[in-house]
Amino acid sequence: MAEKKKKTGLALFLSIVKYTVVIASSLTMILPFLWMLSSSFKDSLEVFNFPIQWIPQNLKLENYSYIWNKANYPQLFFNTLKLTVVITILQIVTCSLAAYAFSKLVFPERDKIFILYLATLMLPYQVVMIPQFSVIKIFGLTNTHMALILIQAFNPMGVFLMKQFFDGIPNELSEAARIDGLNEFGIYSKIIMPLSKSVIGTLVILTSVSVWNDFLAPLIYINSRELYTIQLGLRNMISEFTAEYGPIMAASVISIIPILIVFLCFQSFFEQSLASSGVKG
């Protein structure tokens, strides 16, 4: 009996330690965001006061209206939203089609081609940056949103993610559909894709976050202010409004809201994808 109580006490102690570590880690990650949110309602001189006053005495709501009008934020928001939506849709289409081919179709050297395709993930962007820019320049697409769309319309990681999920769908479903006379595109669109909502939701989250927060590609290809994305706009705000940290924090808060909405909308699909991946193993 004493040994059982000892084991119970040890398990309780380990649980307390585990949750304490988890809570501490969570607070460490969320504190910078809380500080940014608090600073967005402060005067620029109050932002770096110590100790931190988490709830400002005088809320400066005008920080949001100021930055919205001063930095042409609606245009930045629209440009970034357009690129995010278009690229996300293109990646879902291209990644799912390629994943279907690698997973459900049989053709010569399929596995070797897939390995070569995945090998591109080992190349850092800095390696392909110059040749990629040269190709875009040859086609005359510099300083256009089309350049950003083309270079991000394909994603090897997305193909790998979707192929792994498609591998878990029984091949008997595809074979039965072929016997019934359904062609490959029909199998892809009417059977495979409806069963893949969880992995599609995961890809939506990963792609939208990546495109929304992308700074390097727009910096390379975009020169005109009317084509700037939010990340380039924030960089310019920091250089132009050097002492106005309150409005800059307000702009940063606004830039996070769409990504937060996307994550909340597709969170359940993301969790389902992780759960199904775990069960598959």
DSSP 216-243: HHHHHH---GGG--HHHHHHHHHHHSTT
* pLDDT tens figures, 51-105: 777 777 777 778 788 777 777 788 888 999 999 999 999 999 999 999 998 888 8
What integer is the mean pLDDT of 253-267?
A: 81
Give the residue with greater pLDDT, 29 vs 220: 220
Q: How many helices (H) and strands (E) does the chain have?
A: 13, 0
Q: Mean pLDDT across the chain, nearest whole number?
A: 82
What integer is the mean pLDDT of 173-180?
A: 84
pLDDT of residue 52: 75
Q: How many whole angstroms from its chain centre is CA 158?
A: 11
pLDDT of residue 88: 92
pTM of the model: 0.80
pLDDT of residue 279: 43
Q: Tokens in use for 69?
A: 């009008």
Residues whose CB is less than 8 angstroms from the CB of residue 247 and which lie 6 or more positions away in sequence, other chains included: 44, 63, 66, 67, 70, 237, 241
What distance, in Å, lies between the first and last C-alpha atoms of the chain? 38
* pLDDT tens figures, 102-145: 888 888 888 888 888 888 888 888 888 888 889 999 988 888 99
Give the pLDDT band of residue 278 (cuts 50, 70, 90).
Answer: very low
Cβ neighbours, 10 Å, residue 210: 16
Boundaries of every domain in the chain: 62-280
What integer is the mean pLDDT of 189-195?
A: 87
Cβ neighbours, 10 Å, residue 11: 10
pLDDT of residue 243: 64
Give the pLDDT band of residue 269 (cuts 50, 70, 90).
Answer: low
The CATH architecture of the domain made up of 62-280 is Orthogonal Bundle (1.10)
